Amino acid sequence: MEPIDTFSPVNALHIEVFQQSMQIRSDPLPETVIHDLLSNSRRKNTLRELRTRGGAVSVRELSESIAADEAGTNPAPACVRESVYASLHQTHLPRLHELGVVEYDRTRKEVRTCRGARDVGRYMEVVSGYGVTWTELYQVLGVVTLLVVLAAQLDAPLISAIDPVLWTSGALAVFAAVTIVQLWRAFRISTPLR
């Protein structure tokens, strides 16, 4: 039996078609595509809602939640709920599914995030309601840690009363805790549909 040449153009084409049909993304989404996805408020709210809830969510629940946000009332008027449901079902969820950001089961009318959501999540991830991104949080922690350790080394009043090693250890513990929280959120975002 002859071994299969996995690098032939024909096999590469079959692999590419298979990956596209299975919605497997081995490469990250281009930044322009991510910005295009996030430029629409319904897609952005869809991803935010899926990330908050975790797991599979029915399109009906998703549309009702987004409609309530848009209308500013809960429950939203029927016409707003229907408009959101139709646009999610016909336009936004198929687009997000096509790009591998969500897995949309049209038969069961369920949707959940998948691998590509991690790429998009990096652009919309905030730590708190104050709009601080993970990058900004790490930068602030780094600068504050540097200033405190330098102040301790330079015998600044109050700060130098505590050994710089303790300040450094405390800062490393804070960095570790923040990293664990960020990884946990990223894990919840990218849990694939089973």
Among candidate residues 80, 106, 123, the one where a domain is terminated: 123
If asked whether residues 55 and 99 sit together in one domain, one would say yes
The answer to whether the CB of 111 falls within 8 A of the CB of 56 is: yes
Q: Is residue 12 part of a domain?
A: no
If asked whether residues 109 and 136 sit together in one domain, one would say no
Interval 30-55 mean pLDDT: 84
Please report the sign of the dihedral spanned by the C-alpha atoms of residue 144, residue 147, residue 149, residue 152.
Answer: negative
Domain that holds residue 114: 28-123
pLDDT greater at residue 131 or residue 175: 175
pLDDT tens by residue, 99-127: 888 899 888 999 988 877 777 776 666 55
Q: Is residue 166 part of a domain?
A: yes
Q: Is residue 50 part of a domain?
A: yes
If asked whether residues 59 and 142 sit together in one domain, one would say no
Tokens at 163, concatenated: 């050994």
Supply the pTM of this predicted model: 0.54
If asked whether residues 108 and 161 sit together in one domain, one would say no
If asked whether residues 106 and 137 sit together in one domain, one would say no
pLDDT tens by residue, 131-173: 677 778 889 999 999 999 999 889 998 888 998 899 999 999 9
If asked whether residues 142 and 108 sit together in one domain, one would say no
If asked whether residues 166 and 135 sit together in one domain, one would say yes
If asked whether residues 119 and 133 sit together in one domain, one would say no
- Identify the CATH number of the domain in which residue 62 sits: 1.10.10.10
* Per-residue pLDDT at 54 exceeds 50: yes
Among candidate residues 93, 123, 153, the one where a domain is terminated: 123
Among candidate residues 123, 153, 177, the one where a domain is terminated: 123
If asked whether residues 32 and 97 sit together in one domain, one would say yes
What is the tally of structural domains in the chain?
2
Q: Is residue 8 part of a domain?
A: no
Q: Is residue 23 part of a domain?
A: no
If asked whether residues 39 and 84 sit together in one domain, one would say yes
Q: Is residue 169 part of a domain?
A: yes
Helix (H, G, I), strand (E, B) or coil at 161: helix
Q: Is residue 107 part of a domain?
A: yes
- pLDDT at position 30 is 80
Q: Name the H helices within the chain.
A: 9-22, 31-38, 41-53, 59-71, 78-87, 93-98, 116-124, 134-153, 164-189
Q: Is residue 15 part of a domain?
A: no
